[in-house]
Structure 1
């Protein structure tokens, strides 16, 4: 049984006060009502702040891994077909943990947490993940970049020990809207442009870029072992002519080198891989037993390139116990003012500079090494 709601005037007022309003004992005061509404609004906003993803990613320090050691019980670098030598110390590659991106969400609480942590940075999602890409596409691209990085690192190390390395410039991918997409295939090797032999990807870009957008360029290809010549129409991209393909490099190595990097992706460990392969193939420990961390992409010419997340990698190296850090010269502006106490940073721009720096650290003569401030 329910009691019907009271209506104003259901009960008489106090004696001598006919027609006066009567206070309903079940009715909340205006102040209590506002408080209750505010309480439930706060709950709703709190729930939304956890559920709604925001278009940002958070960069955090990640773990470091010794390229001279083991990963998940397996030696990180293995070599077949050439003598190898014992190593000591550590040549650690550094990583960054990224929260957010396709398939993941960053909430208000995540942003607030990152704001109070000096080692974390919040950046726009589109700076790392272009609009429309899926988490699977991101993983595939990251894995491909890691494979390419390993191959170039091996090429650099083998050249440094006197081994012959043959390079083939190949078409890694053809854009769907490329003017001559039907004539070119992924996997084609480019051996000449306009009848002139080429030896590296920059040579291809320069020769194609010498044309005016819309002109055709003669590409000498090797497809399935047979020579093919294709007249590929160019288009404009960033003010210059391009065919609409992504180039890659396929190497022929005289010995077999395998790198087991686990589920880490991206190209930024290339420099440390090249040092570790070189150390494995040369007598005497390169590090002299020192624990050295670092980062940097590397190409087949031995040039060290910049990477993202340098601040987080410095913190990760320090937290992992490294005393030395090899930093790409092009990242120096981000390094200055963000070096953790107890970590010494050495500026490098090539494989030769990186190797010389490690040798100097091993020989305890680091004072002459270049830093990001001199």
Structure 2
């Protein structure tokens, strides 16, 4: 019996030693894998909620001095209440500094963050500096459109010009039109907006010269350009922007933020400052969306992150572009009510309902599920 007991101990002890060794090997592999996941860069970047700015309040300028986001020095400005927040998205990572696989794995399980392929946000042929420059230009243009939309809503009259920004390679207008030219008319039809320019070109059709009246350095002249068809549209082969001659100065101050998505909220802030009373009755409202001179609200990116940014900032109400509702549905944080808006008037209707405490259930909204 003693011999049997001793042999049994030897037989059971040996596997125990081997099992312990396997456990240490597994632990070692896991540690190495964890370290690798923590340091090996991934081919992704992470979008997450960025800073939130109240268009009725202040923000640090380039010198870190608190400055009103909207200043209208030469007009009567009325007191405002509450928040009309514009929202931003921060991108963690770029081509030079990519997030680790561990950071990506963590973001996958966070509903307020999104994992995006690196090439989708930072194309290989575009540097980070070039991307930032384009986004900053988009912000500047959107601010001008926001002012135009607000003043148009308030029935102010002001001239609008369409100016040439650049000519792509192979443009039919190359050597004829140049940067800075103001397009006055096409084939006798006045052009006061980009939409009017497109309509005039569609009317003339492609492949035949048309008379283009321009202002170049203040001097009027007429040139001949032959439009071409591109993706179903008739074009002159020029990149243009709309410039406005506003009846008074509206300064919009928001440094280190790019892109066009703040347009609608800036328009609402301008209207609130130029009209008596509070548009939303002092409530905390956030929103996002591009806007044009006519007040049409357009879709934006990163809206899921903006929803969580709004909620974290304390907003109870959210104005979302109708065309972005597909990205909103199923991603609305608890306690946040989202309205779907197609125009500036839609947004103002929602704010009026919030202000008066009216039943908002009949207003257009993005489905929660």
Deviation at 1:211, TM superposition (A): 6.0
Deviation at 1:307, TM superposition (A): 0.6
Partners in 2 of 1:240 and 1:71 — Cα distance?
A: 42
Deviation at 1:113, TM superposition (A): 1.9
Q: 1:70 aligned to 2:58? A: yes
Q: 1:50 aligned to 2:39? A: yes
Deviation at 1:345, TM superposition (A): 0.7
- Contact map agreement 1:102 1:133 (CA 8 A) in 2: no
Which deviates further from its counterpart, 347-356 or 229-238? 229-238
Matched residue, 1:61: 49
Matched residue, 1:272: 265
Partners in 2 of 1:233 and 1:128 — Cα distance?
A: 36
Deviation at 1:251, TM superposition (A): 0.4
Partners in 2 of 1:217 and 1:138 — Cα distance?
A: 36
Distance 1:95 1:366, change over 3 A: farther
Partners in 2 of 1:179 and 1:45 — Cα distance?
A: 57
Following superposition of structure 1 onto structure 2, how do residues 203-222 of structure 1 map, counting pairs within 5 Å? 203-209=196-202, 215-222=208-215
Deviation at 1:208, TM superposition (A): 3.0
Matched residue, 1:154: 147
Aligned residues: CA RMSD: 2.9
Matched residue, 2:363: 369
Which secondary structure state, in structure 2, belongs to the residue aligned with residue 157 of structure 1? Answer: helix
Q: 1:178 aligned to 2:171? A: yes
Distance 1:178 1:343, change over 3 A: same
Instruction: List gaps (5 residues or longer) in structure 2.
Output: 1-20, 61-65
Distance 1:225 1:62, change over 3 A: same
Which secondary structure state, in structure 2, belongs to the residue aligned with residue 181 of structure 1? Answer: coil
Matched residue, 1:117: 110
Which secondary structure state, in structure 2, belongs to the residue aligned with residue 185 of structure 1? Answer: coil
Deviation at 1:99, TM superposition (A): 2.4
TM-score by length of 1: 0.83
Deviation at 1:332, TM superposition (A): 1.2
Partners in 2 of 1:230 and 1:217 — Cα distance?
A: 8
Deviation at 1:200, TM superposition (A): 1.5
Deviation at 1:348, TM superposition (A): 0.9
Deviation at 1:282, TM superposition (A): 0.6
Partners in 2 of 1:234 and 1:341 — Cα distance?
A: 52
1:105-144, CA deviations, whole angstroms, 9 ceiling, x for partnerless residues?
2332332121121221122334444441111111111111
Which one has a larger percent helix, Structure 1 or Structure 2? 2
TM-score by length of 2: 0.84
Deviation at 1:97, TM superposition (A): 1.1
Deviation at 1:178, TM superposition (A): 2.0
1:48-92, CA deviations, whole angstroms, 9 ceiling, x for partnerless residues?
9735451x3321122211100011211111002211111000000
Q: 1:306 aligns with which of 273, 277, 299?
A: 299
Instruction: List gaps (5 residues or longer) in structure 1.
Output: 1-31
Larger Rg: 1
Following superposition of structure 1 onto structure 2, how do residues 253-292 of structure 1 map, counting pairs within 5 Å? 253-292=246-285
1:144-189, CA deviations, whole angstroms, 9 ceiling, x for partnerless residues?
1111111111111122223212211111222133233222212111
Deviation at 1:225, TM superposition (A): 0.6
Partners in 2 of 1:366 and 1:261 — Cα distance?
A: 35
Deviation at 1:244, TM superposition (A): 2.4
Q: 1:196 aligns with which of 189, 193, 205?
A: 189
Partners in 1 of 2:231 and 2:124 — Cα distance?
A: 19
Matched residue, 2:351: 358
Which secondary structure state, in structure 2, belongs to the residue aligned with residue 155 of structure 1? Answer: helix
Which secondary structure state, in structure 2, belongs to the residue aligned with residue 256 of structure 1? Answer: coil
